[in-house]
Structure 1
Amino acid sequence: MSKIIITCAVTGSIHTPTMSSYLPITAMEIAEQAIAAADAGAAILHLHARNPADGRPSAAPEHFMAFLPAIQQKTDAILNLSTGGSALMSLDERLAAPKQTEPEMCSLNMGSMNFALYPMAARINDWKHDWEKPFLENSDDLVFKNTPRDITHILTELGVNRGARFEFECYDVGHLYMLRHFVDRGLVRAPLFIQFVFGVLGGIGADPANLMHMKHIADKLFGDSYAFSVLAAGRQQMPMAAMAAAMGGHVRVGLEDSLHIERGRLATSNAEQVTKIRRIVEELGRTIAEPAEAREILGLKGIAKTNF
């Protein structure tokens, strides 16, 4: 099998500070955990920012720039900036940091969708910050907006104009067909890196049969012009990643996707999850890709052409 790329999603915008004391919030915490994850074997670091005062998701370029140079100084891992941010942010807010920093890679959600986080709120009684509970509870009436016009704008601003490649996040089968639409329009070119996303309430469920189906449809739509990776939210994170590795795909772990390392035990760091999935994939006979190898597989522009 080909080399396997491990992506680590370091902090995200879904989990809140009350849920885990190990969730990185400040720039120093994000940088330290990102560097440790890279040292453990992650070739790609998928990055969001947070307001260090209260852990609220942030799209502010200054919050990204508080940790991007520090990470780049200590590792040659690929820094992949979110264009999703949070469903509460406008498109302009979500793109402010990637447009300024011009990363090698960005994430791109391939459609609008319900993004329901509210079941998480019922598990907690005491909150560290006033914003956390309503942030989660109000997601019962929340749509993450990424229309075809939005996607066109992102592909043009970050891809065509700034040379970024994309982690195409597909939360359901329809997102694969949307991606095919943009290939046909000439706004997306091979090689494609498609992240199958399972287990978000509003998207496709974390079921092995769904992974098989997503792979079947992607094969039909893209042939040999794509590579796939798998992330599963919550407790199916490691089982679905292991299945992806056995199928020849790539994997994503990290505290953005799951706060746990095993049932009933919080992960103490992103590196702990990377170390675990590395052991699993290596026991399956896979060899992890170093950052330089991942850059070659994905056709990235290189660190020298970024702006941080």
Structure 2
Amino acid sequence: MAVFPHPLLITVAPNGAYKQRPDHPSLPITSSELGQTAKLCLDAGAAMMHMHIRDAEGRHSLDVQGYRDAQQAVKAAVGDEMIIQVTSEAARVYKAPEQIAMVTALKPEAVSVGLREVDQPEIGEAGLAQFFGWLAQERVMTQIILYDVADLQRWQALRAQGVIPDAPWSLLFVLGRYSVGQTSVPQDLLPFVRAHTGNEPWSMCAFGAGEHACATTAAALGGHVRVGFENNLLLNNGQVAPDNAALVCQVADSARMLGRSLYTAQRAREAFFDA
């Protein structure tokens, strides 16, 4: 049986910025639905939720009070047993200064930041240094979203130049974002793994029915995984998943097959902050 140096962190991304109720009847939109989904996914093996919120019309939102309401609903459902990672995604609605302003106003426990979204001329390297310095100082568990190897190399360059300070960052490798039909296969992970020369822990997310195979590959290679309705509605057998928890269950089953334990939220907090 394989022996892994650390447990697997399963993150659930239950809704994303674009899908609507007609896409799936169990897509969580409201704060209370996010709370219900959090409990089901916690029981299935997830220790972190990647949270998107919507406005009154169901559109992508970075509203600070909206996030606070959703955080309260999830905490009411699961307490501290799940890390709440808010998204700062632009989703063709927000610009980099607005994204950064939301994060600094909210000061969440955890956040995902798309590097290419904030690495913009209006921010500049001085602005990046200020923002990432603030994230490090405030001990916000920050995951950097990277869409291709060029993004990863840019991140590495910013770190080497001292623009990004040393801190317990983690990375998310997005597989197949620019593939035909936006589908993912496990081989999409290999260029990232080969190019990753730093010590940051990494996770992956993938699109479509290949999500589970990609997640199992990442787990076998010592990475972490993000699954959920944001990027995929299908079980590994091609059938529509009944809910987000079913996608989490598949990964937990793969982890057991590999002999890899699962992180709890508390153990993940300790491990990732001490990385």
**TM-score, with structure 1 as normaliser:** 0.77
Q: Supply the AA of the counterpart residue of 2:73.
A: A
Q: Which stretch of structure 1 is more off in the superposition, 35-44 or 226-235? A: 35-44
Size of the aligned set, in residue pairs, is: 263
Structure 1 229/267 Cα, relative in aligned 2: closer, same or farther at 3 Å? same
Aligned to 1:79: 84
| SS at structure 2 position matched to 1:66 | helix
| SS at structure 2 position matched to 1:169 | strand
Aligned to 1:212: 190
Aligned to 2:108: 103
Aligned-pair distance for 1:188? 3.5
Q: Deviations over 1:57-106 (max 9, x none)?
A: 11112221222012123232111111114222223443454323311211
2:112/2:144 contact within 8 Å kept = yes
Aligned-pair distance for 1:205? 6.7
Aligned-pair distance for 1:161? 5.3
Q: Deviations over 1:1-55 (max 9, x none)?
A: 021111111211032332112211111111211232123221111111012x432
Aligned to 1:200: 177
1:196/1:214 contact within 8 Å kept = yes
| SS at structure 2 position matched to 1:181 | helix
Indicate whether 1:235 and 2:209 are aligned.
yes
Aligned-pair distance for 1:256? 1.0
Q: Quote the Cα distance in structure 1 between the aligned partners of 2:194 and 2:92.
A: 29
Aligned-pair distance for 1:231? 0.9
Aligned to 2:146: 170
Counterpart among 234, 244, 262 of residue 270 in structure 1: 244
Aligned-pair distance for 1:217? 0.5
Q: Deviations over 1:154-199 (max 9, x none)?
A: 8347514533131111110011111112222152424331111012
Query: Which structure 1 segments of 5+ residues have no match?
Result: 113-144, 301-308
Query: Which structure 2 segments of 5+ residues have no match?
Result: none
Aligned to 2:235: 261
Q: Supply the AA of the counterpart residue of 2:224.
A: H
Indicate whether 1:159 and 2:162 are aligned.
no
Q: Quote the Cα distance in structure 2 between the aligned partners of 1:64 and 1:106.
A: 12
Stretches (4+) displaced over 6 A: 202-205
Q: Quote the Cα distance in structure 2 between the aligned partners of 1:65 and 1:29.
A: 15
Aligned to 1:298: 272
**TM-score, with structure 2 as normaliser:** 0.86
Q: Supply the AA of the counterpart residue of 1:108.
A: V
| SS at structure 2 position matched to 1:261 | coil
